[in-house]
Structure 1
């Protein structure tokens, strides 16, 4: 299943990249009530030379349909890794991988930060959600895609709040 999630921020690309590469921000956004419980956060590098963000968190299974909860247990352990290249020509690109531990589901794709005409920034997650569950793969992919979308929407809200406060 193809998944594209667009986020916008009222700050320039450099400010948004600096936020995304800030370990304090990543820990803060991962600790918010709508983001689950973070058990591991690692950030290395910086926007000028490229950076990586690794995040492991536990989410409640209420993000997925009731009929699929028995496949994953009481909680979803989500691992997210982003690798951002150095800024080029006012844009930053990268790759993302999201896995749900204990479930045969994975999202891989690309990341983009680009300027908007109003001075803001657009962030785009564009990828494929794949499940390797015989018979139910389409249903599992849709459920996982919905969970990823809701998580990224929560991250956008967190980023907007962070930028407004800082």
Structure 2
């Protein structure tokens, strides 16, 4: 199942990448979403590139009841993002690859992130990818539920990102 979502963020592309690859922001978001962080690894390059790998758990009550019987009471989510180097001119378009694995479901989303500057100093972050499940017979239902959950999580992350950037005066 294809997934595409645009998130409008009140900050420059460089400020957004700096935030989403900041371990403190990742913890801030986890606290507000009710997830438990298991592991966070962030590596920043001198050229503005960055990678983040996050393992967290969430209660499965956040997915539809008809799918819960496949996954148990808790889901582990593993998310990795690899952001390419910053443009030489600064504040330009940024790109990343993303992979999200929901263990126990089993579901995987792979795709790209495109972060483009907007005229007003804000940014638009576009996640585009494919959600796949290996559950026999019910794979399509699991994929739809997972895609909906990923979309909601990304929208929620955008709200927390706006709060985070606003409190630091980076908007």
Task: Show the counterpart of 2:55.
Answer: 56
**Residue 47 of structure 1: how far off its partner (Å):** 7.7
Q: Would you say how many aligned residue pairs link Structure 1 and Structure 2?
A: 165
SS of the counterpart of 2:15? Answer: helix
Q: Residue 9 of structure 2 contacts residue 122 of structure 2 at CA under 8 Å; is this kept in 1?
A: yes
**Which stretch shifts more, 5-14 or 46-55?**
46-55
For the residue of structure 2 that corresponds to 1:71, the secondary structure is coil
Task: Name the SS of the counterpart of 2:145 in structure 1.
Answer: helix
Unaligned runs of 5+ in 1: none
| 1:48-89 CA distance string (max 9 Å, x none) | 331001111111112211121111110111111101101226
Mapped pair 1:100 → 2:99 = no
TM-score by length of 1: 0.93
Unpaired runs of 5+ in structure 2? none
**Structure 1: which 4+ aligned runs deviate by more than 3 Å?**
46-49
Partner of 1:12: 12
User: Does the 8 Å CA contact 1:18/1:46 hold for their aligned counterparts?
Assistant: no
Check 1:35–1:80 CA distance in 2 against 1; reply closer, same or farther (3 A cut).
Answer: farther
Kept after mapping to 2: 8 A contact 1:57/1:77:
yes
Checking the alignment, whether the CA contact within 8 Å between 2:61 and 2:73 is kept in structure 1 is: no
Moved more, 126-135 or 85-94: 85-94
What's the CA shift for 1:21?
2.1
- Aligned 8 A contact 1:78 1:101 in 2: yes
Q: How far apart, CA to CA, are the structure 2 residues paired with 1:113 and 1:35?
A: 27
Distance 1:59 1:72 in 2: 11
Corresponding residue of 1:161: 163
Change (3 A) 1:46 1:121: farther
Note the C-alpha offset of 1:31: 2.0
Distance 1:28 1:46, change over 3 A: farther
TM-score, structure 2 length as denominator?
0.91
Does structure 1 retain, via aligned residues, the 8 Å contact 2:94–2:116?
yes
Residue 126 of structure 1 pairs with residue 125 of structure 2? no
Deviation at 1:22?
1.6
